[in-house]
Amino acid sequence: MKTSLPSSVLRLIKEIQENVPKNSKELAGILQNHSVIREEILPFHTFNHSAKESYGRRELIRNETFCIYLMSWCPGDFTAIHDHGTTQWGCVLALDDFTHRLYQLSEDKLELKDNRPFLKGQTAAVYNNVIHMMGNAGKNNALSIHIYGTSDSQQQVARDTRIFYPELGQMTYTQGAAYRLHPENMPERLYDFPGLDSAALEDYFNLTEHHRQGVSTFKTLH
């Protein structure tokens, strides 16, 4: 397993440390000038993640201000619907093509706000009140870089993330990963939430029924 981070990631870390973004837009600007090279980061993949983890997740760096993860997606891997807790600024960089859903709260229900695909080379802003779901509906393995930051060094980044489970009409809080429901990974505490509106719920089940639990065996489709 690789342990020394590639040069493109080290340059990105250095730039963020020297010019700490105030918001997601500033971070997106940094990413445009210091993009991560897919071939360099590929050896750090976690495509062989366990079935109870609905996608692969590897932390590359964490300090008092920000953290960076490499997410690895086998065909069929998806997150749960989730927000980003204490994250005040952040971005996702797509190194491949993804299915993406953006939601908004309206009258206590989640509505589908945007269903445009998230394509290779694009960035998507993430912060505390962004609620979304993403995954790999393609036929090949996929990678993405996720950066979460805070302007408050006293508050740990990416904590108290809400995970929504439309299957149950309930939600939970996690301290990081946004895995989908799995019998071996059930949360200890669940809380009621009003759910998705009818259009968003139909879209969610159409998507997750087709990709339910993803592909459980590791595939070397780089």
pLDDT for 213 equals 45
pLDDT value at residue 218? 35
Q: Within a 10 A sphere around the Cβ of 220, how many other Cβ atoms? A: 8
pTM given for the model: 0.91
What's the pLDDT score for residue 176?
A: 80
Q: What are phi and psi of 171, to 5 degrees?
A: -140, 170
Domain ranges of the chain: 7-210
Contacts of 135 (CB under 8 A, 6+ apart): 55, 73, 76, 77, 78, 79, 98, 99, 207, 211
The per-residue pLDDT for 209 is 74
State the pLDDT at residue 211: 52
pLDDT at 170: 94
Asked if residue 72 lies in contact with residue 47, where contact means CB atoms within 8 angstroms, the answer is yes
pLDDT at 107 (0 to 100): 80
Tens-of-pLDDT digits for all 222 residues of the chain? 567 999 999 999 999 999 999 999 999 999 999 989 999 999 999 999 998 999 999 999 999 999 999 999 999 999 999 999 999 999 999 999 999 999 998 887 899 999 999 999 999 999 998 999 999 999 999 999 999 999 887 778 888 999 999 999 999 999 889 999 888 888 889 999 889 999 999 999 988 875 554 444 334 444
- 201: number of Cβ within 10 Å: 15
CATH architecture of the region 7-210: Sandwich (2.60)
